[in-house]
Structure 1
């Protein structure tokens, strides 16, 4: 099995991949159309029939795996998600984060207390003792988040690296002094952070089938994230509260009922009665992938994305808790990936096996030569508006 792709450090002029204008290209190799044309019973069984093969095909293409390797990877990742959840609960404050290795199929759990090593190893994972861990790095991120930093200062973002047990600050080339000032102003220990430079320029990627297009106020397009009771989750930058939206064909209509952007990139559309939620994500290969839950996947695991501009693409999960400085403002709590995306993919679904992970926020690059893309985790969206994910 090949090495997990190295995540390129984001930076540049962090650009949120905003909405795309109506009339722009929409991925057309999908069997999914408006959500109103998909009955939940028939679509669910049809989606389940082809979902496994379609997802395996995408993983083979994007992660350079054989069919056997892709199947084994999904099985091992499912086990790792469950083990990660169990150890997170069992270890409590000693849990320092985790990372899955797609080459070995091994889950490594960081602990901040050496006494917890035995519990990790007894559970079947590898243990690594760290100084800061997940919670300690999160505190450093919070200290940095408290500073008034803008893109013009040269700093483009920061994220906790559980691999290095440090917080990485990304800056434009020649702007290292801006990072040093941020570190000093935040009062964080210099050995707890490291500075990396980049030339990347992230931006936001602006039915009820995840990944299908929806139109915003008659002048823009984004992608559906995940169906919830009464509507769907999507990116906050796709529309302000009260903005009217509609399915691509216009048969489904709704209104933005909740939107937070910047600071977060969370959105919720309240759908009318003629727009029916399903537990499906469009795989843009003539089928759909069913959503069974929202169990969080560890860093390093594979993840696939659905969006109405570029369709279905897969890669791996990188850092969590990423802060990105977009021109529109800072967004906190994003997850970094090495999956490509383009304008119009914003709001679209991120899924690991059958577990919903989040919705597309922004990034850099494109699907011709690759890039870095960030997603807004789904759980905070569900909690913010007391939403229930549609899983059947």
Structure 2
């Protein structure tokens, strides 16, 4: 884990988190159909009914339960670092991704897992390593009370009944670093309570404010303005989203998959959101959002913001539920 270079203190702990070791997700989500997507049908009668609605029918070979069974089988297999999988309704298969580190024995192991699944899976290779991202929006640092001088990002500010105001960030940040500051090695402004961090398997943490630090419910857009955040919801397939991070600032794209599983070297995580938004080390923990709605926390992925890439996010609704928190 490489600490990020010190940066000037942010004016406020707005709404994005910079992570030290990026992590992952949580529980499975159902894939929502988006407007404009062909309707799946399995018979001529059903196709006729779809046509009457004005939608475009598309015959599918595998139903949702079959693809769900494939995901269950893959999730139960021995994790192979450098791999990921997600149901893709566009091709009616589970897309399995393997990065350049999956070679020889690891590749043979993967092929052994995939062979019995037949045409329900499609293997794709990436030319860059699948990894956790290291930093995100307004920066937070290991404080002077912490033995680790690493940098992460604040995700979203939250409230809980009868408890101190707090912020969400990635669990891989909250695991090693309990005391946070807004400057490198500065005084503590927030503290991760006992049981306030979960990674791997999940990738979320909560840190309670211990100082009178301004903490509005917004996201830094890195153009001198901020996006107000007033609610939280699950991601929708093919919707447009934005991500804010302290390394690469603001970038946008679309949600390309739900319920993704990622096998990092640090462990397996499930139930992630997959997007085509780029990110780089230092963006981890940052806010994924759509308009005024909080969607997720930046985890990891492949590629960069020069050549593009794939990124994965912890659903924010899972973290809110785990901590009994709400968006202000």
Same fold per superposition (TM over 0.5): yes
Contact 2:174–2:206 (8 Å) recurs in 1 = no
Mapped partners of 1:317, 1:33: distance in 2: 31
Which residue among 281, 303, 323 is the counterpart of 1:365?
Answer: 303
Structure 1 unaligned spans of 5+: 1-17, 39-94, 101-105
TM-score, scaled to structure 1: 0.66
Q: Are 1:145 and 2:75 matched, yes or no? A: yes
Describe the superposition over 1:308-353 as per-residue Cα deviations: whole angstroms up to 9, x where unpaired: 2221111121111121111111121222222221222111100112
Mapped partners of 1:221, 1:204: distance in 2: 14
Mapped partners of 1:358, 1:252: distance in 2: 25
Contact 2:235–2:273 (8 Å) recurs in 1 = no
Q: Secondary structure at the match of 1:318?
A: strand
Contact 2:300–2:311 (8 Å) recurs in 1 = yes
Structure 2 unaligned spans of 5+: 15-29, 160-164
Tell me the equivalent position of 1:237. Answer: 172
Which residue among 110, 113, 119 is the counterpart of 1:182?
Answer: 113
Q: CA deviation at 1:354?
A: 2.0
Instruction: Return closer, same or farther for 1:212/1:113 CA change in 2, 3 Å cut-off.
Output: farther
Q: Secondary structure at the match of 2:94?
A: strand
Which residue among 308, 312, 316 is the counterpart of 2:250?
Answer: 312
Instruction: Return closer, same or farther for 1:96/1:295 CA change in 2, 3 Å cut-off.
Output: closer
Hey, which of these two has a bigger chunk of helix by percent? 1
Q: Secondary structure at the match of 1:177?
A: helix
Tell me the equivalent position of 2:239. Answer: 301
Mapped partners of 1:123, 1:380: distance in 2: 35
Q: CA deviation at 1:239?
A: 2.5
Which range moves more in the overlay, 236-245 or 279-288? 236-245
Q: Secondary structure at the match of 1:219?
A: coil
Q: CA deviation at 1:180?
A: 2.1
Tell me the equivalent position of 2:190. Answer: 254
Tell me the equivalent position of 2:20. Answer: none
Describe the superposition over 1:33-89 as per-residue Cα deviations: whole angstroms up to 9, x where unpaired: 223xx8xxxxxxxxxxxxxxxxxxxxxxxxxxxxxxxxxxxxxxxxxxxxxxxxxxx
Contact 1:34–1:248 (8 Å) recurs in 2 = no
Tell me the equivalent position of 1:170. Answer: 97
Q: Secondary structure at the match of 2:192?
A: strand
* Number of aligned positions between the proteins: 296
Q: Are 1:267 and 2:197 matched, yes or no? A: no
Mapped partners of 1:115, 1:128: distance in 2: 12
Mapped partners of 2:232, 2:155: distance in 1: 13
TM-score, scaled to structure 2: 0.78
Q: CA deviation at 1:225?
A: 0.9
Which range moves more in the overlay, 302-311 or 241-250? 241-250
Contact 1:226–1:232 (8 Å) recurs in 2 = yes
Q: Secondary structure at the match of 2:111?
A: helix
Which residue among 85, 88, 91 is the counterpart of 1:158?
Answer: 85
Instruction: Return closer, same or farther for 1:164/1:220 CA change in 2, 3 Å cut-off.
Output: same
Q: Secondary structure at the match of 1:189?
A: helix
